[in-house]
């Protein structure tokens, strides 16, 4: 046989053997899914809730207008530190001050009238005593006159005179008693007018006092939106009044953040937090949760759901206040901030990567023969249908080259890992990726492990 024929036969044999090997490999790989895996291990987990908001002093007040008028004097400027009781601003007070002076004059006149009425009452009391004594004397004279007239010791004219004098004294006594009642009523009326004028003076003094604004506590003027000469107005039912300034007590600084409704159930009073401020990017501040809102706030408007008349399906937040420890002096209200609240911590717990956790319906986990029997049934019961749609949380464990779904129960969630409380043991190899594979992977599927760095799906060649 010629040499070229031998070479051709050898090449042909090699091709046939290669084709057989390739066919065998391809056939053996049918139904095999390439996966990435990881080990169940023990780790220290910290559950953190992240929320954003702004810096606010714990105690602050908007000093609003209590009266209508023009600002005549501002005694402070923005950024000034003030003491409790210090005068902050003055608005025009000509009319209120005039009302006070007029009311004081009216009160003085009423007090004088009351004093005069009391003197008249005392005089009437004295007249009553005199009228009583006179009546007693005239009654005795009249009684003696009757006896003397019967004894014919006095003439008829004297008898009549004594009788008339007695009747006049009785009339005088009655008049004195009536004068007592009259002067007493006048005195009581004068006293009521004094009381009325006193209350009126209290009212107009209050109106006058509202033209002067004083600091309710020690603090810093953080906002001063008005100027001298501007006119301020008080608020009415549906319109807010003018705000003269905002006074804040910067001794206690807080971060007021909005926590998503899905995370608020894990936030508790007293939990530690780490706060970062956009204006001070290289520092982290420690804090403690000191207040948790009870009402959900609509994310779009910030209005509490209890204040809305219609239901809404939009996202909601809850206000959480974190008190900062040792805040710097250069913090300003309104600075944007981000808080990381530590809601739970555990050491040395079984954990798996979060992406390994997946969900399957119970029907997808049943053996094929059982599925067939269910399908062959004439009409499954509603409760069986509902049970078959029940979603089960678990992971895929590698066992003898196959991915077997194992239900698990979980605990706290860390940054990248999640605690497993039951269903797995340390060292188990589980499927961690890819995400696309985990979405479609079926129970009992043969797998091939490839833990090399995956290429990005959107990577362009």
- Write down the pLDDT at residue 453: 66
Cβ-Cβ contacts under 8 Å for 246 (sequence gap 6 or more): 60, 61, 62, 63, 221, 222, 223, 224
Residue 27: the pLDDT is 39
CA distance 164 to 273: 104
pLDDT at 350: 93
Of the candidates 342, 325, 322, the residue with the CA atom closest to the CA atom of residue 53? 322
What is the number of alpha carbons within 13 Å of residue 237 lying toward its C-beta? 0
Cβ atoms of 48 and 259 closer than 8 Å: no
| Strands 81-82 and 32-39, sheet pairing | unpaired
Say what the pLDDT of residue 459 is. 45
> Is 338 in contact with 322 (CB distance < 8 Å)?
no
Identify which of 197, 208, 201 has the alpha carbon closest to the alpha carbon of residue 94.
Answer: 208
Q: What are phi and psi of 235, to 5 degrees?
A: -75, 150
Q: Would you call the peptide bond into 434 cis, given omega within 30 degrees of 0 as the criterion?
A: yes
Q: Check if the beta carbon of residue 213 is closer than 8 Å to that of residue 73.
A: no
Note whether 420 and 430 are within 8 A (CB).
Answer: no
pLDDT tens, residue order, the chain (461 aa): 556 555 556 666 655 655 545 444 443 445 688 899 999 999 999 999 999 999 999 888 999 998 888 999 999 999 899 999 999 999 999 999 999 999 999 999 999 998 998 888 889 888 888 888 988 888 888 888 888 878 888 888 888 888 888 888 889 888 888 888 888 888 889 999 999 999 999 999 998 998 999 999 998 998 999 999 999 998 876 777 889 999 998 888 999 999 999 899 999 999 999 999 999 988 999 999 999 998 888 887 777 777 666 666 778 899 999 999 988 888 888 899 999 999 999 999 999 999 999 998 888 776 555 554 444 445 566 666 666 778 899 999 999 889 999 999 999 988 899 999 999 999 999 999 888 888 888 888 899 888 886 555 444 43
Q: What is the pLDDT of residue 234?
A: 87
């Amino acid at each position: 046989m010629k040499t070229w024929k031998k070479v051709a036969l050898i090449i042909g044999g090699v091709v046939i053997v290669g084709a057989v090997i390739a066919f065998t490999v391809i056939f053996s790989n049918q139904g095999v899914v390439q996966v990435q895996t990881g080990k169940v291990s023990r780790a220290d987990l910290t559950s953190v809730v992240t929320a954003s908001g702004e810096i606010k002093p714990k105690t602050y007040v908007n000093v609003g207008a209590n009266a209508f008028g023009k600002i005549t004097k501002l005694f402070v400027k923005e950024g000034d530190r003030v003491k409790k009781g210090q005068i902050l601003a003055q608005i025009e007070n000509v009319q209120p001050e005039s009302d006070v002076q007029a009311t004081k004059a009216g009160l003085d006149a009423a007090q004088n009238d009351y004093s005069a009425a009391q003197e008249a009452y005392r005089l009437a009391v004295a007249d009553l005593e005199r009228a009583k004594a006179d009546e007693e004397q005239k009654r005795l004279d009249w009684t003696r006159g009757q006896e003397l007239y019967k004894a014919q010791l006095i003439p008829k004219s004297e008898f009549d005179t004594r009788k008339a004098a007695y009747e006049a004294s009785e009339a005088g006594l009655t008049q004195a008693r009536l004068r007592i009642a009259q002067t007493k009523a006048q005195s009581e009326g004068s006293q009521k007018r004094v009381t009325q004028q006193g209350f009126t003076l209290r009212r107009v003094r209050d109106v006058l006092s509202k033209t002067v604004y004083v600091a309710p506590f020690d603090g810093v003027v953080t906002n001063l939106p008005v100027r001298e000469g501007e006119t301020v107005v008080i608020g009415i039912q549906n319109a807010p009044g003018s705000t003269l300034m905002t006074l804040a007590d910067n001794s206690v600084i807080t971060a007021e953040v909005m926590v998503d409704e899905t995370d608020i159930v894990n936030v508790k009073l007293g939990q530690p937090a780490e706060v970062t401020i956009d204006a001070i990017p290289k520092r982290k501040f420690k804090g403690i949760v000191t207040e948790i809102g009870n009402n959900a706030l609509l994310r779009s408007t910030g209005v509490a759901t209890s204040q809305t008349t219609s239901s809404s399906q939009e996202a909601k937040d809850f206000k959480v206040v974190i008190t900062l420890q040792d805040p710097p002096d250069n913090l300003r209200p309104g600075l944007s901030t981000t808080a990381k609240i530590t809601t739970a911590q555990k050491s040395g717990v079984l954990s798996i990567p979060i992406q390994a956790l997946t969900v399957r319906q119970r029907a997808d986990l049943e053996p094929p023969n059982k599925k067939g029997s269910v399908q062959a049934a004439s009409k499954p019961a509603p409760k069986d249908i509902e049970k078959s749609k029940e979603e089960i949380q678990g992971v895929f464990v590698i066992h003898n080259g196959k991915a077997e779904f194992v239900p698990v129960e979980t605990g706290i969630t860390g940054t990248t890992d999640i605690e497993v409380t039951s269903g797995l043991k340390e060292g188990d190899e589980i499927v961690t990726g890819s995400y696309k594979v985990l979405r479609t992977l079926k129970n009992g599927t043969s797998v091939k492990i490839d833990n090399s760095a995956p290429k990005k799906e959107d990577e362009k060649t």
